[in-house]
Amino acid sequence: MAPNAAVRTADPALPAAHAVPAGGWSDAAVLAATAAVADGPLSAAATRIDHGEYPLPILSALGEAGALGVHLDRHGGRFGLAISAMEAASRACGATGFLMWAHDVCGLYLEQSGNPALSGALLDDHVAGRSFGGTALSNPMKAFSGIEPMLLRARPVPGGYRVTGTLPWVSHIGQGQYCGAIAGVERADGTVSHEIMFLLRCDEPAELRPCPQFSGMEGTSTWSLRLKDYLVATDDLIADPARPFVGRIRGAFILLQTGMALGVAQGSIDAMLAVEDQLGHVNQFLDDRPADLAAELAELRAAIQRLALTPYEGSKDYLLDVLDARAQGAEFALRAAQSSLLHQGARGYLASAAPQRRVREAHFVAIVTPALKHLRWEMARLSRDVLPAEGVPA
């Protein structure tokens, strides 16, 4: 297994021999290069991405900038920097922020797997934005919390497992791409013995089927994924059993999502300030003015950056703090996006207006797994007393 230190240094001078340009990925260089992408090509493409353009060239550029790999142990375990980069991109385009998150956690799975077949050249290409993959953990995360049943089922076969089942929507996948997935392993009598986590390669025989149209963020390459006796070779196993692995990375998985919320909220504040000269004389009567929101956002960002110093801490209090920060991010993004539309008035109501898109992005932040309601469910579950007769497994 990979090292599991509770405290990660933010030292970029750690050995980083993989795919890093000669100049290195200093914090400042990563942020500057990410901002250049966000303010340039990504801002220009945001509406097209919302309507269905899958921005792989932009993700390649972000990979080259280091924005998709600095959270990994091999690049200094800089979670705070990864979140800041995701915030910068999400400020321009929430869908791209979401793709970065999916890509980031997929890289995390590969590295933390400790499986040499997954953490070599494959991971180097992934980090550099030369290959792409996401995560299919929405259903298993809910299954582990007791919210819904596990959809993929596996049975042991010589050399690995055969997996069958359908996942309704998985993002950032396509032909030649991949994602982390989890299946319940069935015994001969149909009961589940444990779960496995594996790298699912999205080529034949895995079947990608189109999803119904969503109301926004259509450029996330989201597909229904159908498996029938799909062979998982031992080389593609991320964790067997999966539960201890998922328990270890869960805080990091959820914390990384806060970059989306921060960015969508910051973009919303930008949109309010953009009309202050013309509309400030009437906007002064609105709730949630940009200065109020900016102060609150700064506090939330600082709290998230503190949590990002110890992404693998396993205590209950830490996990509650992460869930709370993620829930606050969702609630705050919703408030900020709505307020930005009110501040922009009619121009924000145009179909092409950024606040229109951000209202949908903010709602996505609040409903993507773990959704606001799942976060609260999980915080309640973690907070309940464990008693002998009614003991709930942690």
Partner 1 sequence: MSRPEPTDGLGPWLQFLCRACGLIYDEAEGDPDGGLPPGTRFADIPDDWQCPVCGVTKSDFEPYAGRRPNVPGAAEPAPRPRKAGIVIVGAGIAGWSVAEAIRAHDADVPLTLVTACAGDAYHKPELSIALGRGLTPERLRREAGADKAARLGVRLMADTFAIGLDPARRRLRTTRGTLAYAHLVLAQGAAPVVPAALAPELCWRINSLTAWSALHRALKLESRICVVGAGMVGCEIAEDLARAGHAVTLLDLAPLPLPGLLPAPAGARLAAGLAGAGIRFMGGVRVAGLARRPDGTLALATDAGTLDADHVISAIGLATESRLARGAGLAFDRGIVVDGATLATSAPHVHALGDCISIAGAPCRFIEPIARQAEVIAHAVLGLPHADYVHSAPVIRLKTRARPVEMHGTPAPRAPWQIVQDTPDRLAMEQRQDGRLIARLAL
Report which of 161, 197, 198, 200 is spatially closest to residue 177, judged by C-alpha positions.
200
Binding of partner 1 by 167 (CB under 8 A): yes
- Minimum Å gap between C-beta 337 and partner 1 is 17
Burial class (CB in 10 A: 0-12, 13-18, 19+), 270: middle
Question: Under the criterion CB under 8 A, does residue 386 sit at the interface with partner 1?
Answer: yes
Nearer to partner 1, 18 or 376 (CB): 376
Beta-sheet strands, E only, within the chain: 133-135, 153-157, 160-170, 178-186, 192-201, 207-210, 223-233, 237-239
| Residue recorded with tokens 């793709």 | 99
Query: Site residues for partner 1, window 25-84 (CB under 8 A)?
Result: none
CB of 383 to partner 1, least distance (A): 4
User: Among the candidate windows 76-84, 143-151, 213-221, 337-345, which touches partner 1 by CB under 8 A?
Assistant: 143-151
Task: Tell me which DSSP letter residue 219 carries.
Answer: G
Is 171 near partner 1 (CB under 8 A)?
no
For residue 331, state whether it binds partner 1 (rule: CB under 8 A).
yes
Figure out which of the listed residues 155, 169, 192, 280 binds partner 1, where binding follows CB under 8 A: 169
The answer to whether 117 contacts partner 1 (rule: CB under 8 A) is no
By CB under 8 A, residue 165 contacts partner 1: yes
Contact (CB, 8 A) for 180 and 139 = no
CB 242 within 8 A of CB 204: no
In whole angstroms, the minimum distance from the beta carbon of 317 to partner 1 comes to 5
**Does the protein bind partner 1 through residue 320 (CB under 8 A)?**
yes
**In terms of CB distance, is 139 or 268 closer to partner 1?**
139
Instruction: Give least dist CB 97 to partner 1, A.
Output: 24
Nearest by Cα to 169 from 105, 213, 115, 230: 213
Smallest CA-to-CA distance from 127 within 169, 78, 164, 181 is with 78
Site stretch for partner 1 (CB under 8 A), options 20-28, 43-51, 145-153, 268-276: 145-153
Contact 363, 97 (CB under 8 A): no
Q: How would you classify the pairing of strands 192-201 and 133-135?
A: unpaired
- Binding to partner 1 (CB under 8 A) within 178-237 occurs at 209, 211-212, 224, 226
# chain residues binding partner 1, by CB under 8 A: 38
Indicate whether 313 belongs to the interface with partner 1 (CB under 8 A): no
Of the candidate residues 52, 114, 168, 280, the single one contacting partner 1 (CB under 8 A): 168
Determine, following the binding rule CB under 8 A, whether residue 380 of this chain makes contact with partner 1: yes
Report the b/e string of 170-209 with b at 16+ CB within 10 A: bbbbbeebbbbbbbbbbeeeeeeeebbbbbbbbeeebebe
**Residue selected from 189, 190, 317, 346 as contacting partner 1 according to rule CB under 8 A:** 317
Cα distance between residue 314 and residue 138, in whole Å: 21
Q: Which residues bind partner 1 (CB under 8 A)?
A: 139, 148-149, 151, 165-169, 209, 211-212, 224, 226, 296, 317, 320-321, 323-324, 327-328, 331, 376-377, 379-380, 383-393
